[in-house]
Amino acid sequence: MSTETDIVAYVQESEFDALLTESEEKVVVVDFTATWCGPCRLISPLMEQLAQEYKGRVKVVKVDVDSNKPIFKKFGLRSIPAVLLFKDGVLTETIVGVSPYEQFSEAVEKLLQVV
């Protein structure tokens, strides 16, 4: 049985731009979250599932808004959970609030199909 190891890593603001431009995967999913945020905890397993399902094709990361406020504000976000999808370093979609897994996976599928 697998341990409680999260496969979705946290990234800091200093790593963010490089992640978007240098990631092997063309699609990057960023989950803006906080430890005190209840709804964020509902999204977390969905991000883990997304990372597993699209392993090697999509990079899924988390950003803790408490320690990375400037990047949170940079994208004009005001509430969490907020999931941002990037393709080739460009923001293509923002999903705010608790959403079903299908909404995230469909957004990813759409980006993977665009060449």
At residue 87's C-alpha, the angle toward residues 100 and 56, to 5°, is: 75
37 is catalytic: yes
Q: Which of 40, 47, 65, 111 is catalytic?
A: 40
Q: In what order do the strands lie in the sheet with 82-87?
A: 9-10, 58-64, 27-33, 82-87, 90-96
Please name the residue ranges forming H helices in the chain: 13-22, 38-53, 69-74, 101-113
Q: Which of 34, 37, 77, 98 is catalytic?
A: 37
89 is catalytic: no
Instruction: Return d(Cα 89, Cα 20) in angstroms, integer.
Output: 5
Give the catalytic positions in this structure: 37, 40
